[in-house]
Amino acid sequence: MVELDHPFSTSKPIAESWQAILDLERLVPCVQGGRVIEKTGPDSVKAEIKVKMGAMSMTFTGTVSVIEKDDSAHRAVLQVKSREAGGQGHANADVVFALADGGGTVHTAAQITGKAASMGEGVVVSVLDGLIKDFTGKLAAL
């Protein structure tokens, strides 16, 4: 299990950011290589993400769903469940967003298996860290 914390800042009002985070069709493309394949429910989408790890590139397909949301505290938990083509790897994560005025925090707890995990936790952490940093940068503009 890899756990990472990232802060982010935004000039948008909190209500606007809150709506943006819960809109998965807007949120998912903010992850580099991520795209929504179809909306499967009010709070869930089918999505895929292409990730490059060194010389390897992998495509994970799965679901992203909002499993908890607290409108008053502006706290939401998104669950990612995905697997690589052929079932040769999994990437699952719980992502907790906590918003405040002017920004917020993202807590990621990810479970990676398969080829990616074999690269070692160091590589997994640095790739994931890079992805989320890039993501939080885009959140600011969302």
Partner 1 sequence: MAAQAGELMATGEERLIGFGRMKRKEDARFIRGRGRFVDDVQLPGMLHGAMLRSPVAHARIVSIDTSAALAHPRVHAVITGKDLEARELAWMPTMSLDRQPVLATDKVRFHGQEVAFVIADDRYSARDALELIDVEYELRPAVVHVRKAIEPGAPVIRDDQPGRRDNHIFSWESGDRTATEQVFEHAAVAVEQEMVFPRSHPAPMETCGAAADYDRVSGKLTVWCTTQAPHAHRTLFALLTGLPEHRIRVISPDVGGGFGNKVPVYPGYVCAIVGSITTGRPVKWMEDRSENLMSTGFARDYAMKGKIAATEDGKILGISVDVIADHGAFNAAAQPAKFPAGFFHLFTGSYDLEAAYCRVRGVYTNKAPGGVAYSCSFRVAEGVYLVERLVDCLAHELELDPVELRLRNLIRAEQFPYRCKTGWVYDSGDYERTLRKALQIAGYEELRSEQARRRELGELMGIGVGFFTEAVGAGPRKHMDILGLAMNDGAALRVHPTGKAQLGISVQTQGQGHETTFAQIVSEELGIPAQDIDVVHGDTDTTPYGLGTYGSRSTPVSGAATALVARKVRDKARIVAAAMLEAAPEDLEWVSGRWTVKGDPEQGATIQEIAMAARGPIELPPGVEAGLDAETVYDPPNLTFPFGAYVCVVDVDPGTAKVTVRRFVAVDDCGTQINPMIVEGQVQGGLTDGVGIALMELIAFDEEGNCLSGSLMDYLIPTAVEVPDWETDYTVTPSPHHPIGAKGIGESATVGSPPTIVNAICDALKPYGVRHVDMPCTPARVWDAMQGKGAPPQ
- Rounded CA gap, 76 and 67, in Å? 8
Q: In terms of CB distance, is 58 or 99 closer to partner 1? A: 58
Instruction: Check: CB of residue 61 under 8 Å from CB of residue 70.
Output: no
Q: CA 83 from chain center: how many Å?
A: 14
In whole angstroms, the minimum distance from the beta carbon of 120 to partner 1 comes to: 5
**Residue 29 φ/ψ region, left for φ over 0, alpha for ψ in the -120 to 50 degree band, beta for the rest:** alpha
Record the tokens describing residue 120, joined without a space: 């070692």
Q: In terms of CB distance, is 15 or 37 closer to partner 1? A: 37
Decide: helix, strand or coil at residue 68: strand
Q: In terms of CB distance, is 32 or 92 closer to partner 1? A: 92
In whole angstroms, the minimum distance from the beta carbon of 97 to partner 1 comes to: 25
Tell which residue, 42, 48, 14, 12, has the closest CA to residue 29: 48
In whole angstroms, the minimum distance from the beta carbon of 142 to partner 1 comes to: 32
Q: In terms of CB distance, is 27 or 112 closer to partner 1? A: 112
Positions that interact with partner 1 (CB under 8 A) = 1, 83-90, 111-115, 117-118, 120-121
In whole angstroms, the minimum distance from the beta carbon of 56 to partner 1 comes to: 12
- Rounded CA gap, 73 and 140, in Å? 19
